């Protein structure tokens, strides 16, 4: 069962005046979680609410998890059914903004539905923690490196599609440099440094970029050495998103090739958070990680 802590719904003004890009996806999630919270407060079981709203319990469950579009007519009935203290007009205005397309809609031909939500949630996060054991995380890839990764992942994609995917990836990286944008903690297995993607020159420039951004105040980079016993047993690549601004539950994102899993149950997300903390303890210090990058760069020169 999804555990939801109290959700802070922004005012319309706060949402519109927030710095950086707006995230309709995150706003939709906030409103969806708040509707679930209102139902719980009203002491109404999902099956009873679904019957009163003339929808199926699975549909209601998806809406309450932020996995479906909120329609004003449905939300108005929910607010009335749950006797919500919120101003209906304010809430419905936010629903309208939540249904607006994100900036990435211009790339919709190359954005699968399971990834669409991740982009929107990432935009609204305050902390991004990620672990990779094979490739540089997408948010830290250089254009040359990213192009090679995309070409390997989409073997039959024409050059024009590869370039569209590349533009999307490069535009996603901008959020790391927004005022009050999310902070990034990336733990990379040493294998990432040794796996040449695109040849020695491309790889060297990628590692030089990692060494450069590791000095940014909002980006923390640590390398997990080969010699650490048991590190790989802690899990596959994963990304954890924290939302201090909205007080949403932490969300764990695990990509599986042509699909992805979003883990939102508090007990499960806490397990992944503990695994991530363990990885940071096992990884080399920030200073030593930078030295390892420099050594790998020299090895490719």
Phi, psi of 51 (to 5 degrees): -65, -40
| Token pair in block for residue 49 | 């609410």
Domain shared by 16 and 154, yes or no = no
Domain shared by 182 and 208, yes or no = yes
Domain shared by 80 and 161, yes or no = no
Examine the fold and report which residue of 98, 128, 163 is the final residue of a domain before the chain moves on: 98
Domain shared by 270 and 170, yes or no = yes
Residue 197 lies in a domain: yes
Residue 182 lies in a domain: yes
pLDDT of residue 20: 62
What is the domain count for the chain? 2
Residue 204 lies in a domain: yes
Domain shared by 111 and 242, yes or no = yes
What CATH number did the domain enclosing 72 receive?
Answer: 1.10.260.40
- pTM of this structure: 0.87
Domain shared by 133 and 60, yes or no = no
Domain shared by 112 and 161, yes or no = yes
pLDDT at 195 over 70: yes
Domain shared by 141 and 203, yes or no = yes
Q: Which domain holds residue 28?
A: 12-98
Q: What is the pLDDT of residues 225-240, one digit of tens each?
A: 988 765 554 557 899 9
Q: Minimal CA–CA distance to 278: which of 226, 217, 222?
A: 222
| Token pair in block for residue 144 | 């040359």
Transcribe 151-180 into DSSP letters. Answer: HHHSTT--HHHHHHHHHHHHHHGGGGGSTT
* Pairing mode, strands 238-242 and 219-224: unpaired
Average pLDDT (43-61) is: 92
Q: What is the pLDDT of residues 86-119, one digit of tens each?
A: 889 999 999 999 999 888 888 888 988 889 899 9
Examine the fold and report which residue of 73, 98, 123 is the final residue of a domain before the chain moves on: 98
Q: Minimal CA–CA distance to 222: which of 278, 171, 166?
A: 278
Query: Average model confidence (pLDDT) for the chain?
Result: 89
């Amino acid at each position: 069962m999804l555990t939801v802590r109290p959700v802070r719904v922004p005012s319309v003004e706060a949402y519109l005046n927030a710095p950086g890009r707006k995230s309709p996806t995150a706003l939709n999630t906030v409103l969806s979680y708040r509707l679930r919270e209102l139902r719980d407060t009203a002491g109404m079981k999902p099956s009873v609410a679904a019957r009163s709203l003339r929808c199926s319990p699975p549909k209601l469950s998806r809406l309450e998890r932020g996995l479906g579009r909120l329609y004003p007519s449905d939300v108005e009935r929910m607010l009335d059914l749950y006797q919500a203290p919120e101003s209906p007009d304010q809430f419905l205005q936010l629903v309208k903004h939540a249904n607006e397309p994100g900036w990435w809609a211009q790339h919709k031909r190359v954005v699968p539905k399971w990834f669409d939500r991740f982009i929107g949630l990432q935009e609204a996060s305050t902390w991004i923690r990620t672990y990779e054991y094979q490739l540089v995380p997408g948010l830290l890839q250089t254009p040359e490196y990213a192009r090679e990764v995309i070409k390997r992942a989409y073997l039959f994609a024409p050059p024009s599609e590869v370039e569209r995917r590349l533009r999307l990836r490069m535009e996603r990286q901008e959020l790391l440099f927004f005022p009050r944008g999310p902070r990034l903690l990336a733990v990379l297995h040493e294998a990432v440094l040794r796996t040449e993607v695109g040849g020695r020159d491309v790889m060297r420039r990628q590692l030089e970029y990692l060494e450069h951004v590791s000095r940014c105040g909002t980006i923390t980079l640590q390398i997990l050495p080969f010699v650490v016993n048991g590190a790989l047993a802690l899990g596959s690549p994963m990304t954890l998103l924290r939302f201090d601004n909205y007080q949403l539950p932490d969300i764990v994102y695990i990509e599986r090739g042509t699909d992805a899993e979003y883990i939102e149950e508090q007990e499960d997300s806490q397990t992944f958070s503990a695994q991530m903390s363990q990885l940071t303890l096992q990884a080399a210090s920030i200073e030593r990680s930078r030295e390892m990058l420099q050594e790998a760069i020299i090895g490719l020169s």
